[in-house]
Amino acid sequence: MEEQVDPLRHLRADDDPGCDVFLTGTVFLDIIFTGLDSAPVRGTESWARGMGSSPGGVANMATALARLGLRTSLAAAFGDDHYGDYCWDALEQGEGIDLSMSRTIPGWHSPVTVSMAYEGERTMISHGHEAPSCGDGDGDGSGSGDDGADGADGVPPGQGFPPAHSVPPRARAAVASLVPGRPEGWIADAAARGARIFADVGWDETGRWELSALPGLDRCEAFLPNAEEAMRYTRTDCPRAAARALADKVPVAVVTLGADGAVAVDGGSGETAEVPAIEVEALDPTGAGDVFVAGFVTGTLAGWPLADRLAFAGLTAALSVQEFGGSLSAPGWSELAAWWQRVQGWVGQAPEALTRYAFLGRQLDRLLPRASRPWPRARAVPTIGFRRSP
Q: Give pLDDT, residue 140.
A: 39
Taking only the tens of pLDDT, the chain with its 390 residues reads: 345 789 999 999 999 999 999 999 999 999 988 888 888 889 999 999 888 889 999 999 999 999 999 999 999 999 999 999 999 999 999 999 999 999 999 999 999 999 887 876 778 899 998 887 544 444 333 334 454 433 333 345 545 555 555 789 999 999 999 999 998 889 999 999 999 999 999 999 999 999 999 999 999 999 999 999 999 999 999 999 999 999 999 999 999 998 899 999 999 999 999 999 888 887 677 788 999 999 999 999 999 999 999 999 999 999 998 887 778 889 999 999 999 988 888 877 778 888 999 999 999 998 886 544 444 566 666 666 555 555
Task: Specify the pLDDT at position 375.
Answer: 47
**What CA–CA distance (Å, rounded) separates 155 from 158?**
8
CA dist list (Å): 91 to 28, 96, 99, 249, 330: 12, 6, 8, 35, 13
Identify the pLDDT of residue 119.
76
Which of 25, 30, 26, 24 shows the shortest CA–CA distance to 327? 30
Question: How crowded is residue 188: how many other Cβ atoms within 10 Å of its Cβ?
Answer: 16
β-bridge pairing 50-57 and 27-34: antiparallel
Give the distance between the most distant pair of CA atoms in the chain. 63
Whole-number pLDDT of residue 350 = 77
Beta-strand relationship, 220-223 and 196-201: parallel
Beta-strand runs (E) in 44-152: 50-57, 72-75, 77-79, 103-105, 112-118, 121-127
Give the alpha-carbon dihedral of 239, 245, 249, 253, to 10 degrees: 30
Confidence (pTM)? 0.88
